[in-house]
Amino acid sequence: MSELASSISFGIGVAFTFFGCLGLLRLPDVYNRLQAATKCVTFGMIFMIVAVVIRSGFGSLGVKAILCLAFILLTSPTAAHAISRGAHRSGVRLWKGSVIDEYLKDREPKG
Interface residue with other proteins, options 58, 82, 95, 107 (CB under 8 A)? 82
Interface residue with other proteins, options 5, 22, 58, 104 (CB under 8 A)? 22
Q: Which residues of 35-64 are buried (b: 16+ CB within 10 A; e: fewer)?
A: bbbbbbbbbbbbbbbbbbbbbbeeeeebee
How many angstroms separate the CA atoms of 56 and 13, rounded? 17
How many angstroms separate the CA atoms of 4 and 72, rounded? 25
Interface residue with other proteins, options 57, 71, 101, 104 (CB under 8 A)? 71
Residue 104 in contact with other proteins, rule: CB under 8 A: no
Give the closest residue to 4 by CA, choosing from 43, 54, 45.
Answer: 54
Q: Which residues bind other proteins (CB under 8 A)?
A: 6-7, 10-11, 13-14, 17-18, 20-22, 24-25, 30, 33-34, 37-38, 41-42, 44-45, 48-49, 51-52, 55, 60-61, 64-65, 67-68, 71-72, 75-76, 78-80, 82-87, 89-90, 92
